[in-house]
Amino acid sequence: MSVRAHVMVVLLALAAILFILRLVRQRRLRAKYSVLWLSIGLGLAVLAAFPGLLTWVSDVVGVEYPPALFFALALSFLLLLCLHFSWEISRLEDRTRALAEEHALLQQLVLSRMSSDDANGAERVSPSGESPPGGRRR
């Protein structure tokens, strides 16, 4: 790797770390993600600073072309991350759905209670707020 490329890669890695740190400081990243991204940034910086490291690791695991190892690792990491986000989105959807249902039911309860209060003072509310008088319980 030429010196110029080396310097550029190191600078890019440093920029990435600084950007992540900024997001963390501004609390725009949740702690669990900040740790994740910071370790990624550090890993990149280490690899950029010592290019020999990647060559050594690929020798150890038996990969002939070091960049191939790098891309394989990067790709599998991104895939895992996507999977994790899908999981997280599913969970968030479940929660917003439950909230929406609860919200709607409570709103109905409040409205029916208000209308039955209007109709007959502080009477106990029947489940069907607007049902005809005959349908009232108790």
Partner 1 sequence: MTRTLVIIPAYNEEHSLPMVLKDLAEQLPDFDVLVISDGSVDGTAAVARAAGVNVVELPFNLGIGGALRTGFAYAARTGYERGVQFDADGQHDPEQVARLLAALDRGADMSVGSRFAEGGAVTYDVGLVRRAAMRMLRLMVRVMVGQQFTDTSSGFRAFSRPVLEFFADTYPVEYMDSVEALVLACNAGFRVDEVAVNMRGRTGGAPSTGGIKLVYYYVRLVVVVLASASRTNRRMRRVRADAGTGDPREVEAT
Question: For residues 76 and 131, which CB has a smaller minimum distance to partner 1 in the complex?
Answer: 131
129 contacts partner 1 (rule: CB under 8 A): yes
Residue partners of 75: CB distance under 8 A and separation at least 6: none
Identify the residue among 62, 121, 127, 133 touching partner 1 (CB under 8 A).
127
- Taking alpha carbons only, the member of 65, 41, 48, 68 closest to residue 6 is 48
* Token reading at 100: 């929406």
Per CB under 8 A, does 128 bind partner 1?
yes
Question: CA dist 86 to 22, 79, 97, 100, Å?
Answer: 26, 11, 16, 21
Contact window for partner 1 (CB under 8 A) among 16-24, 32-40, 66-74, 96-104 = 96-104
Q: Does 133 engage in binding with partner 1 (CB under 8 A)?
A: no
Which residues lie near partner 1 (CB under 8 A)? Answer: 97, 100-101, 103-105, 107-108, 112, 127-131, 135
